[in-house]
């Protein structure tokens, strides 16, 4: 996806032509050759899960997939929230996925990925979003110090749009403030 932007801080007449920059196009289909039938296989497996326990089982499978990806990426834990989110993205990039930190603060980060591991599956079977969120939660918990992940949510509406990368919001558990001793 090409675009243009002016780099170097100059503007106005004589600033030169804006640089042409490129970004990874969001992946909307599985990257396989020849085309596999994994979405159909997963769909058939989903249909065999009992309705009452389907969400819980999807979460368990997603967590297991996240652990497997974290092991394969060798994502080390970090105490710093910022460092942990950056390490998470580096680990996923080492596995071949495009992942970047879009924003990070003291207790909240947004990770974007045009090639989310489960995007093609979520697009074909939106109920799999539960599995996707559990995978991301597991990845985030691996990167952060134990017990410090409050919530991980995927903005699935972006996954369903062709022109947008997936956005994953990671929220850190806030540490209780230390109170001054009473006098």
What percent helix, strand, coil does the chain show, rounded to 5? 40, 20, 40
CATH number for 20-172: choose from 3.30.1380.20, 1.20.1250.20, 3.40.190.10, 3.20.10.10: 3.30.1380.20
| Sequence-separated (6 or more) residues with CB below 8 Å from residue 102 | 110, 111, 112, 167
Look at phi and psi of residue 147 and say left if phi exceeds 0, alpha if psi is from -120 to 50, else beta. Answer: left
Instruction: Tell me the pTM.
Output: 0.71
Q: Return mean pLDDT, the chain.
A: 81
pLDDT in tens, 136-161: 999 999 998 766 788 888 876 667 77
| Residue spans per domain, the chain | 20-172
Confidence grade of residue 3 (pLDDT, cut at 50, 70, 90) = confident
């Amino acid at each position: 996806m090409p675009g243009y932007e002016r780099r170097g801080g100059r503007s106005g007449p004589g600033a030169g032509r804006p640089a042409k920059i490129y970004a990874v196009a969001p992946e909307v289909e599985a990257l396989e050759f020849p085309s596999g039938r994994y979405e159909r296989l997963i769909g058939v497996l989903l249909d065999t899960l009992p309705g009452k326990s389907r969400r819980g089982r999807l979460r368990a499978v997603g967590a297991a997939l996240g652990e497997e990806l974290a092991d394969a990426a060798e994502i080390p834990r970090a105490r710093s929230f910022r460092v942990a989110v950056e390490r998470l993205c580096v680990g996923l990039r080492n596995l071949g996925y495009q992942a970047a930190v879009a924003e990070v603060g003291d207790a909240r980060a947004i990770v974007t990925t045009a090639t989310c591991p489960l995007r093609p599956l979520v697009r074909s079977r939106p109920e799999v979003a539960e599995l996707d969120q559990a995978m991301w939660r597991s990845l985030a918990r691996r990167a952060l110090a134990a017990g410090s992940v409050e919530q991980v949510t995927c903005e699935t509406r972006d996954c369903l749009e062709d022109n947008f990368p997936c956005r994953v919001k990671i929220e850190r558990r806030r540490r209780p403030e230390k109170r001054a001793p009473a006098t």
